[in-house]
Each structure stands twice: as C-alpha cells, then as structure tokens.
Chain A
C-alpha cells in the first residue's frame, strides 16, 4: 500500500510535474470560487454599516 502511494507520488521522477500542475489548477479554481463569495460578503457588510 505504502509502495503504491510512493509510486503515485513520485511517478518515476515525473511526480513533481504532474502534482505541480494539479496544485496550480486547484489554486486557480479556489481563487475563482472565493472571489465572488468575498465580493458578496463585502456588499453585505457595507450595507449593514449603512444600517
């Protein structure tokens, strides 16, 4: 099991290329998902400050 995980992680030396690509994708997706949520929260807090 551990050997399999190790193989998936290193992928015969290609792991850093594959995992860094996946990490970059996830960062872009998370940022694009969180930005609109933060925008809505900002509108809500501005509105509540105005009363």
Chain B
C-alpha cells in the first residue's frame, strides 16, 4: 500500500514539471479525447433521445441534460482554479499558475452555456428569458469573475506577476461559489432547488437521473480533455525557448 501511495506521489511530483506534463499529455490526449467524446455523446443521446418526458414540462426539460452539467462545471472549475491559485501563491509551483489560466476560458465557457441554456429554458417555463433572481444573478457574477481573471492575466506581460495577480483574484472570488449553491435556499427564487445533493435522494426517477449522471461524467471528461489541450499550448507558449520544447514540440510536430 505504501508503495502505491509513493507511486502516486511521484507521479504528481513529475506532473508538476512542465516538460514531464507535456510529454504525458501528448501521449494520452488522443485516448482521453476518444473516452470523453464517447461518454459525452452517450450521455446526451440517452438524455435527449431516450429519457422519458417530464410530466409537467414535457420535452423542454431535456435542456437539463445540458444546463445542469454546465452549471456544475462552471462552479467546480472555479473551485479548482482557487485551489491552483492557492498552490501557486504558497508553493510558487509554475504549473499551478499555468493550470489556473488554462482553466479560466473553459470555466467561462461552461458558465456561459449554463446562463444561455437557462435563459432558453426560462422562456417556455417561466415566460421570460431573464429575471434578476439570486441564482441567475450570482451565476452572472461568476461569469464576470472569469472574464476579469482572463482580462487581468492578458493585460500583464510578465507571466510570473500575471500568475500571482490572478491567483489572488481567484482565491478572493471563491466566496461566489457557496453563494450560488445556497442562493436557492437563502432567497426566494424562481429557480428550482439544486438537482444534485449529497445529503438527500434525487428528486427525479432513475430513468432521468442515470442519463444526467452520465452527462455529468461526460462533461467532466470533456473538460479534462480541453484543459490538457489548453495547458499544452500554455506550456509551449512559455517554454518555447527551452531545449526540451525544441526537441519535443518543434522537431516532433514537423
């Protein structure tokens, strides 16, 4: 067992080095892409094509299979970025700063999908595209936070300073995540209560819940694939002058 943990520890230490991560990512990215695509497609086809219609909303509820995983990703990517920000500030790990800024556009994308699909879903069910309700407004603030992190990082030429600045911002902004999560309990909102809960059983039947779980897993895998892809570009962009990058990127890709 100790050997297993020391292997895991050594793997994590190796992944903290940009050249090792780049080498690992280049090998596994196509496999990760195939796995992500299959799981993501299976979840969406199952949910949109085969799950039964909702007794109240009919077929329009199928937006849930896009909206809920996107909203979960939007919040969990931010949490992850705050952890990377903390690691970057405390241990000055270069890869943590790169991970943070590579994840930001992906988090912004998933949050935007959650906002837009929520708005599309709102029209036939609430009769409006948008209301300044606590859940919607706090999610919009999350999107602006992502945008602020991306803008701040790209405005600074010194990447070490840029990493530190966005790390501080991401750690400070973490308060938004529990606010979004609890907004439906703390305030009177049009938005329905959380679909997923660790403490209570699901509020929907198994034939709706199972494809939703599959979608969540598929979306996470797609995110891991896209993050690996973005991180490779970030590593190469910063380390293009190094010997290892000359060998592994420029010679390999010719």
Could you tell me if B112 and A28 are in contact, using CB atoms closer than 8 angstroms? yes
| CB <8 Å contact, A22 and B236 | no
Query: What distance in Å separates the Cβ of A4 from its nearest Cβ neighbour in chain B?
Result: 10
Question: Range of interface residues on chain A?
Answer: 20 to 34
- Are A28 and B113 in contact, with the CB atoms below 8 A? yes
Contact of A17 among B113, B120, B230, B249 (CB under 8 A): B120
- How far is B108's CA from A31's CA once the two chains are assembled, in angstroms? 12
- Is A1 interfacial (CB-CB < 8 Å)? no
**Does A39 sit within 8 A of B, measured CB to CB?**
yes
Decide: A20 and B124 in contact? CB cutoff 8 A. no
Is A20 a contact partner of B112 (Cβ separation < 8 A)? Answer: no
**Are A32 and B106 touching (Cβ within 8 A)?**
yes
Q: How far is the CA of A10 from the CA of B70 in the complex (A)?
A: 24
CA distance A39 to B70 in the complex (A): 25
What mask results when residues 112 to 123 of chain B are scored 1 for a CB within 8 Å of chain A, else 0? 110011001101
The complex places the Cα of A8 from the Cα of B53 at a distance, in Å, of 12
A2 at the interface (CB under 8 A from B): no
User: Known contacts A17-B60, A28-B112; is A40 also within 8 Å of B121 by CB?
Assistant: no
**Cβ of B172 under 8 Å from chain A:** no
Q: Is the CB of A14 within 8 A of B66?
A: no
Does the CB pair B67–A21 fall under 8 Å? Answer: yes
Chain B residues touching A, range: 35 or more
In the complex, the answer to whether A32 meets B236 with C-beta atoms within 8 Å is no
Chain B contact residues: over half helix, strand or loop, or mixed?
Answer: helix
- Chain B residues whose C-beta falls within 8 Å of the C-beta of A44 in the assembled complex: 249-250, 253
Q: Is A37 a contact partner of B66 (Cβ separation < 8 A)?
A: no
Report A-chain residues with C-beta under 8 Å of the C-beta of B58: 11-12, 14
In angstroms, Cα B125 to Cα A17, docked, is: 11
> What's the Cα separation between A37 and B231 when bound, in Å?
11
Contacts A29-B109, A39-B237; is A22 near B120 (CB within 8 Å)?
no
Q: Smallest distance from the beta carbon of A29 to chain B beta carbons, Å?
A: 7
- A32 surroundings in chain B (CB, below 8 A): 105-106, 109, 226, 230
Does any Cβ of A come within 8 Å of B141's Cβ?
Answer: no
Can you name 19 A-B residue pairings with CB atoms under 8 Å? A12-B58, A14-B60, A14-B124, A18-B59, A18-B60, A21-B63, A21-B66, A24-B117, A25-B70, A28-B109, A28-B113, A29-B222, A29-B226, A32-B109, A37-B229, A39-B233, A40-B232, A47-B240, A47-B250
* B→A interface (CB under 8 Å): 44, 48-49, 58-60, 62-63, 66-67, 70, 102, 105-106, 109-110, 112-113, 116-117, 120-121, 123-124, 222, 225-226, 229-230, 232-234, 236-237, 240, 249-250, 253
Pairs of residues from A and B, 5 with the lowest C-beta to C-beta distance, nearest first: A36-B233, A11-B59, A14-B60, A21-B117, A14-B59
